[in-house]
Chain A
């Protein structure tokens, strides 16, 4: 617990679904993730890997067991504090990108940083442009996200997850909508973040090549960790 090399630790985490009937989706999940690790989670659909990722991201608080993140016990935090943690320390990429449809790509990327308020608006805008450029989206920056293609939206969502330099980046199939060229761009970015900036990446994926190239694979089946 006091090991400062560990960013995220789960202890006996379990979760139930109650509909259509009571069903245990996650059983006795315990593992540690080190700072700077690039972890992928694999498993068949229904194995509970996405559900686990949502718990880790603090977006789902209905579970048993304990989560420790960056030296803080998440399980006992109030919702307001969890929101702060999500804003500052966690970058999340959804399977269905989930961008705000009324805003431009640039604004979507900027909003978490504006919320955090660590930098001035100009600094944030510059950083957002840089991140979008890195993902090949500079020319789409001022377009409304509803006018972008699925792959472009996915990359905007990744840029949004990176904007606050989070301690951990979580992705639910972050490359699911991307072609091989963009997939390798995103992979390289994640690799660089973990190795050079000591940020941590956890990604759920169905892409075996993607998983194999990561530092560590967690394989799940029937709500348990196999490997």
Chain B
């Protein structure tokens, strides 16, 4: 009976779309706006989140391994377990901040698959002096190349380069807050006095500005051996080991593993920065809620405009049914119309989102942030495409299905 397969459904869909270009364009525009806003807002939230967390990791490692203070123990335990060892007036032992055999420990850590960077650190309290004025603060003795690799130190230097430090043993990278207080500039000298009374004359080889005033007013970086000398310690003396891993979200889960591995205490960034971690969590929840709301709004917008386009064609649907098109044909015709409108809308939506992101990314915020931290995240473009296709499919399918089920006469009677 059916000898020829004329693709009449596609022909009708095509004619509907192209004979009313303006209407098609407006429907596609609805999709475009929905998709563009969906991608743009998600990128905005994500860019903001990434920037916030990056700010935190300017000076904080994902994990810090250190030897915790401990009270002195009695040298010989009593063999009688019913008796209690007692030391009157116990003190914190002086040796116990030290990590023993750090070289092999660093090697062990570097061999862990998730570890991206490891660097030893000697930190201590010092006074910065210039003439009569003095400022108290913390000095961090580092291996500057490793420190830079882990914390991208170079991007926070406002003057000079990090490499200056490795070229000059008694160099110092000084926080801008300290420099300001002591009225110091590049290549000036500053005297460091440690808690143990060791004095060192240092030359400023770079200035550091993280944007965090508390850090900029207290912190400076010097070479590891100089820090050891300030503490009157040998070259094997290390107070902390900084570890960065591939996914900072997993830091908490690795604490016990590293504690077992090293035998020392391990602190993750969330514990070290509880308020920042809580803020981060809050931001994430907020981003999720906003993303979900935008999805709903965009989906409704797209659904509405496509639903309207189909409802305007209700009479045509009844005519098509009257001349022998089945409900399935009707659904096919209008779903393909919706999908074509969707594809056109999505394409322009991707372009619009891209433009919006570039525009936003060129806005100067200033401070340590610079340009607004938004990037083109391919992930959101992918999600946007899938989201758009799914929504347009259902936005075509649901009303078409409803109309297709009606008797043609019940449409004409309205």
Contact = CB atoms under 8 A, between A and B. Distances in A.
Contact of A117 (B5, B325, B326): B5
Contact of B328 (A80, A85, A92, A101): A80
Contacts of A86: 321-324
Contact of B4 (A59, A88, A92, A118): A118
B3 interface: yes
A212 interface: no
B321 A114 contact: no
A160 B323 contact: yes
B409 A115 contact: no
Interface in B1-27: 1-6, 8, 11-12, 15-16, 19-20
A103 B407 contact: no
A118 B4 CA distance: 6
B407 A62 contact: yes
B323 A87 contact: yes
Interface in A77-107: 79-80, 83-88, 92, 94, 98-103, 107
B82 interface: no
B373 interface: no
A133 interface: no
Interface in B383-410: 405, 407-410
A57 B329 CA distance: 19
Interface string A41-72: 00000000000001001011110000000000
A119 interface: yes
B327 A60 contact: no
Given A59-B407, A59-B408, A100-B316, A87 B6 contact: no
Contacts of B323: 86-87, 92, 111-112, 115, 160
Main secondary structure of the interface of B (DSSP, over half): helix
Contact of B1 (A60, A83, A115, A118): A118
Interface residues of A, number: 34
A199 B6 CA distance: 26
A116 interface: yes
Contact of B410 (A57, A60, A103, A160): A60
Most buried by B among A61, A102, A112, A120: A102
A121 interface: yes
B1 to A, nearest CB: 7
A222 B133 CA distance: 112
Contacts of A103: 15
Contacts of A84: 324, 326
A117 B5 CA distance: 6
Given A98-B322, A100-B316, A121-B4, A83 B327 contact: yes
Interface string A136-163: 0000000000000000000000001000
Given A60-B410, A114-B8, A102 B326 contact: no
B319 interface: yes
A60 B324 contact: no
A160 B316 CA distance: 15
Most buried by A among B16, B20, B319, B328: B319
Contacts of B154: none
B15 to A, nearest CB: 5
Contact of B409 (A54, A87, A111): A54
Interface string A116-132: 11111100000000000
A124 B106 CA distance: 84
B324 A98 contact: no
B339 to A, nearest CB: 19
Interface string B269-310: 000000000000000000000000000000000000000000
A99 B319 contact: yes
B325 A60 contact: no
A102 B410 contact: no
Given A86-B321, A87-B325, A112-B323, 6 more contacts: A84-B326, A88-B324, A92-B322, A111-B12, A116-B2, A118-B1
30 contacts: A54-B409, A57-B322, A60-B407, A79-B327, A80-B326, A80-B327, A80-B328, A83-B325, A84-B326, A87-B323, A92-B323, A94-B412, A98-B322, A98-B412, A99-B319, A100-B320, A101-B316, A111-B323, A114-B6, A114-B11, A115-B6, A115-B323, A117-B2, A117-B4, A117-B5, A118-B1, A118-B2, A120-B4, A121-B4, A121-B6
Query: Which 6 residue pairs of A and B lie closest in terms of their CB atoms, listed nearest first?
Result: A87-B324, A83-B326, A102-B19, A114-B6, A60-B409, A114-B8
